[in-house]
Amino acid sequence: EVQLVQSGAEVKKPGESLKISCKGSGYSFTSYWIAWVRQMPGKGLEYMGIIYPGDSDVRYSPSFQGQVTISAGKSLSTAYLQWSSLKASDTAMYFCVRQNYFGTSYIEYWGQGTLVTVSS
Partner 1 sequence: QSVLTQPPSVSAAPGQKVTISCSGSSSNIGNNYVSWYQQLPGTAPKLLIYENNKRPSGIPDRFSGSKSGTSATLGITGLQTGDEADYYCGTWDNSLSALVFGTGTKVTVL
Which spans of this chain sit near partner 1 (rule: CB under 8 A)?
35, 44-47, 59, 61-63, 95, 99, 103-108, 110-113
Query: In terms of CB distance, is 19 or 59 closer to partner 1?
Result: 59
Distance CA 97, CA 37 (A): 7
Output the smallest distance, CB 112 to partner 1, in A: 6
Query: In terms of CB distance, is 27 or 47 closer to partner 1?
Result: 47
Output the smallest distance, CB 15 to partner 1, in A: 25
Q: Please return the burial class of 27, using the count of CB atoms within 10 Å of its CB with bins 0-12, 13-18 and 19+.
A: middle
- 65 contacts: CB under 8 Å, gap ≥ 6: 49
Query: In terms of CB distance, is 80 or 95 closer to partner 1?
Result: 95
Distance CA 71, CA 80 (A): 5
Output the smallest distance, CB 73 to partner 1, in A: 23
